[in-house]
């Protein structure tokens, strides 16, 4: 129901288009101006896929997404404009291990790239904070006198910040 398929769109075998999907163009130029869906693609309700882009085999497009760039094979694209969800979370876990503490309030399947970026920054800040505390403790042991301002704790709470981002 309500599906719009542009003149030069190509749809592979076994694709699923839910209601309200648009495979549209962004120009009136003659020639290829609509998307190509390779076999096995699933497009959620209301999604718009615009331009002569390619949606890779068995990729998934979230409902109401607006996809304006290619989507790799097997990937999932969501949002406006659509972002590719990153299924790998191992790198972050490895980084957390390297830092000597596990990341705060993070589920291992967290895969939104923007959320990951913010969590990464919070973890980095937390790591820096920890190192600075250690350096200051060692300086004091060496007899360096730190001012009250230098010793003062701020309100930085990575746990709380990570919860807000989730
Ligand atoms: C919004 C629109 C007018 C922009 O066209 P444009 O000026 O050529 O822009 P570009 O394709 O160069 O994209 C510019 C940026 O906007 C983003 N963008 C493009 N279309 C977008 C949309 N519909 N919603 C959100 N972001 C969009 C792109 O991702 C790109 O972001 P980036 O610079 O961070 O990579 C066009 O993409 C669009 O949506 N046209 C409507 C098409 C339509 O409804 N067709 C119906 C056919 S049935």
Instruction: Write the residue with the smallest CA distance to atom 17 of ligand 1.
Output: 81
Four-way CATH pick for 1-85: 3.40.50.2000, 3.40.190.10, 3.20.20.70, 2.160.10.10: 2.160.10.10
Each of the 166 residues of the chain gets a pLDDT tens digit; together they read 999 999 999 999 999 999 999 999 999 888 999 999 999 999 999 999 999 999 999 999 999 999 999 999 999 999 999 999 866 444 555 555 555 544 444 444 556 778 888 888 998 999 998 898 899 889 989 998 888 877 777 888 888 888 887 7
CB distance 47 to ligand 1 below 6 Å: no
C-beta of residue 59 within 8 angstroms of C-beta of residue 43? no
Task: Give the global pTM.
Answer: 0.67
CB distance 118 to ligand 1 below 6 Å: no
Ligand 1 site-directed mutation target among 6, 70, 81, 82, most atoms within 8 Å of CB:
81
How much distance in Å is there from the Cα of 51 to the middle of ligand 1? 9
Provide the residue ranges of all domains of the chain, joining segments of one domain with +.
Answer: 1-85, 90-165
**Closest-CA residue to 75 (of 92, 61, 90):** 61
Instruction: State both tokens at 40.
Output: 């096995």
């Amino acid at each position: 129901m309500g599906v719009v398929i542009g003149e030069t769109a190509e749809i592979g075998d076994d694709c699923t288009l839910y209601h309200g999907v648009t495979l549209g163009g962004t120009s009136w130029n003659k020639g290829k101006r609509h998307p190509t869906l390779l076999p096995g693609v699933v497009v959620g309700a209301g999604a718009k896929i615009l331009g002569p882009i390619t949606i890779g085999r068995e990729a998934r497009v979230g409902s109401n997404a607006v996809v304006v760039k290619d989507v790799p094979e097997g990937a999932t694209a969501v949002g406006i404009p659509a972002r590719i969800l990153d299924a790998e979370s191992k790198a972050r876990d490895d980084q957390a291990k390297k830092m000597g503490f596990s990341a705060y309030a993070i589920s291992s399947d967290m895969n939104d790239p923007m959320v990951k970026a913010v969590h990464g920054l919070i973890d980095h800040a937390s790591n820096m904070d920890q190192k600075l505390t250690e350096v200051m403790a060692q300086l004091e042991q060496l007899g360096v006198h730190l001012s009250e301002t230098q010793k003062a704790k701020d309100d930085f709470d990575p746990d709380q910040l990570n919860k807000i981002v989730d």
